Amino acid sequence: DAMVIQNPRYQVTQFGKPVTLSCSQTLNHNVMYWYQQKSSQAPKLLFHYYDKDFNNEADTPDNFQSRRPNTSFCFLDIRSPGLGDAAMYLCATSIIRGSGEAFFGQGTRLTVV
Amino acid sequence: AQSVTQLGSHVSVSEGALVLLRCNYSSSVPPYLFWYVQYPNQGLQLLLKYTSAATLVKGINGFEAEFKKSETSFHLTKPSAHMSDAAEYFCAVSDIQGAQKLVFGQGTRLTINP
């Protein structure tokens, strides 16, 4: 089945140690998104790619970076994780000029120790 | 800017009772509207979507929602709650142009009492 896959599902990292979360998709969608969801809160958009064009949200900290080497893969890099970065990170995809529906992966739960 | 307000962060109903989760939106142009469900430690799953076709939208698991432009509402209903409906529900709005970024409401946690 076509889908969005996030790896790993659970990630534990040390305070200040760089960490990378990965997302792959078999839907061939041209837009990929990264959302951060803290406990009992709504998902918050960090950035998105429209094909290779990177779009950062205005309030996304510089500590968060992203790479999209090809259509299928997208990575979230956290350069120096702090305790406040512990959250669920959700990757999603969609088609421009489609119905606006986003397809989500299962998420990666990040713990910072 | 678009926004979504979900009335009630927690809703509790008895098994077999009507489920009503409220969502109001703010948008300067006709939007796309969505309801997503999230189970613990899972991603978001689409329940249903409104994209300017029929105003009454039917989704998965027996849920439906009605788009009411005059009330700027998109409330989610299910006639008879099941224990498996216990989850977090998010209403979301997106532009019909551009990157179609989703803006989520704060979520409603639905609890089903036996």
DSSP A71-107: SSEEEEEESS--GGG-EEEEEEEE-TTS----EE---
B14, two tokens: 């008895």
Which band of pLDDT confidence, cut at 50, 70 and 90, is reported for residue A85?
Answer: very high
- Does residue A2 surpass a pLDDT of 70? no
Please give the pLDDT value at position A101. 86
Distance from CA of A25 to the nearest CA of B (A): 14
Assess whether pLDDT exceeds 80 at residue B28.
no
Distance from CA of B74 to the nearest CA of A (A): 16
Instruction: Note the Cα A58 to chain centre separation in Å.
Output: 16
Task: Select the residue from A104, A108, A109, A110 to test the B interface by mutation, using most B Cβ atoms within 10 A.
Answer: A104
Interface of B with A in 30-69 (CB under 8 A): 32, 34, 36, 41-46, 49, 51
Residue B101 pLDDT: 83
pLDDT confidence band for A62 (50 / 70 / 90): very high
Q: What is the mean pLDDT of chain A?
A: 93
Asked if B109 and B11 touch (Cβ cutoff 8 Å), the reply is yes
- When pLDDT is averaged across residues B37-66 and rounded to a whole number, the result is 92
Q: pLDDT tens for residues B67-114?
A: 998 999 999 999 999 999 999 999 999 876 666 788 999 999 999 999
Distance CA A79, CA B77 (A): 43
For an interface test with B, give the residue of A31, A36, A51, A99 to mutate (most B CBs within 10 A). A99
pLDDT at position B99 is 63
